[in-house]
Amino acid sequence: MSKQKRKTPQPAPGTETPDTKNLAAEASDVKTSEVESPEAKTSEIKTPEADSLETQTPETQTPEADSLETKTSKAETPQAETSETETSQPKTSEAKKPALWAALLDRIRRPGAPPRQPLSQTHPVLYMVVMLTSLTAVLAFLLGFVNGITAPLIEKLRQETLLASISEVLPGAAGEPEMVEGVWTAPVQTVRRAYSAEHDFLGYAVEVAPGGFGGPITAVVGVQPDGTVSGVRIIDMKETPNIGTKTQEPAFLDQFTGKAPGFVLGTGADDVHVISGATVSSTAVYNGAAAASSAALTLK
C-alpha cells in the first residue's frame, strides 16, 4: 500500500516541467504532429480550461512553462485545435507518456477523488488489526488515566466509611483506631483497637470479609474486650438486590448487638435469626460476626 501511495506524487515534479515544455514547443512548432489521444492532450495544453487548471497548481509548475503554455493557448483557438487533432497522424511513443501523466495528475487534482487508496481497501486484514489494537489501546489508556484520578478518591471514601462505621459499632470511638499486628485467619482481615476521646480502651474494631452469595461481604464488627459484639456494619457487598441485600438493614444487623461470645444461628430468643430467602447472605454475616468475637477473645 505505502509503495503505491508514494508512487503517485513522485513522478509529477520530475517529469512535469520538461514534458510541458516539450509539449508546448511541439505545439507551437509542428501543429500537425499533435496527439492521437485528444482528450488528454487538448485538456493539457490547448483549451483555456486546461490552462486555468495548470495555473491552479503553481508549486509544480515552473513559470517558464506556464507562460509558454498561456501563449500557445492564446495563439490558437480551441476549434482550430480540435480539427487539427482529428487529422493528425498517430505518434504513439510521445503520446503515451503525457496521457498517463495527465491521468495521474487529473486524479490528484479532482476535488472529490481520493488521492490515495485507503488502507481499508488495499489491506483489509492489516486495517482490522490496526483499528482494533488502537481502539483497545486508546480505551485502556483512558481507563488507566481515569483510574489514576479516581482510585485515591475511592480509597479515601472507603477509609472514611470504615472510620464512620467503627464509631457506629463502638460508640464513643474517636480519632484513628490503632492497628493490631498479627496474622488472622479468614474471614478476619484486620483488627483495630479503638479508644475514646479520653484515651480509654473501648474495644476492637474487626474488619471481616466472609464469603456471601455474590462474593465477599466486607463488614466491620465492634467487639468489646470481653468478646461481646457491640455492633455490625456492612461496608460493601455484592449480594442479590432485595434478597441478600436485606442483611444490611438494621432489622437484621441489630440482632448482633450485645451477643455474648459463642452465639449461634437458630430460632431461640438469644440466637441470631436468618432472613428467609437470604440464608447464604445471613449465614455469611453471622460467620463474620462470630469470627470477630473469637478473634477478639484470643487477644486477651
Partner 1 sequence: MNQTLRQFKNGLLDQNPTLVLLLGMCPTMAISTSLANGLGMGACATLVLICSNSAISLMRKLIPEKIRIAAYVVIIAGFVTLVDMLLSAFLPALSQSLGLFIPLIVVNCIILARAEAYASKNSVVRSALDGLTMGLGFTAALSVVSIIREVLGSGALLGRRVMPDSFPGVLLLVLPTGGFLTLGFVIAATQKLMAGRKGGKS
- Contact status, residue 201 vs residue 271, Cβ threshold 8 Å: no
Among 218, 202, 209, which Cα is nearest to 184's?
209
Nearer to partner 1, 243 or 297 (CB): 243
Among 65, 41, 43, 64, which Cα is nearest to 52's?
43
Nearer to partner 1, 52 or 133 (CB): 133
- Cell (9 digits) for 163: 472510620
SS3 of residue 236 by DSSP: strand
Smallest distance, partner 1 to C-beta of residue 3, A: 22
List of residues 6+ apart from 230 with CB closer than 8 A:
169, 170, 171, 203, 222, 223, 224, 257, 258
Nearer to partner 1, 55 or 150 (CB): 150
d(CA 223, CA 237): 21
HSE-up (13 A, CA, CB side) for residue 145: 6
Positions touching partner 1 (CB under 8 A) are: 120, 124, 127-128, 131-132, 135-136, 139, 142-143, 146-147, 149-151, 153-154, 157, 238, 240-243, 245, 276-277
Smallest distance, partner 1 to C-beta of residue 212, A: 13
Kindly report the number of other CB atoms within 10 A of residue 166's CB atom: 24
Smallest distance, partner 1 to C-beta of residue 133, A: 11
Nearer to partner 1, 75 or 128 (CB): 128
Run of H or E residues at 178: strand 178-179
Smallest distance, partner 1 to C-beta of residue 272, A: 21
Nearer to partner 1, 63 or 112 (CB): 112
Nearer to partner 1, 75 or 151 (CB): 151
Smallest distance, partner 1 to C-beta of residue 275, A: 12
Nearer to partner 1, 100 or 154 (CB): 154
Smallest distance, partner 1 to C-beta of residue 241, A: 5
- Contact status, residue 192 vs residue 165, Cβ threshold 8 Å: no
Smallest distance, partner 1 to C-beta of residue 174, A: 23
d(CA 239, CA 256): 20
d(CA 183, CA 163): 22
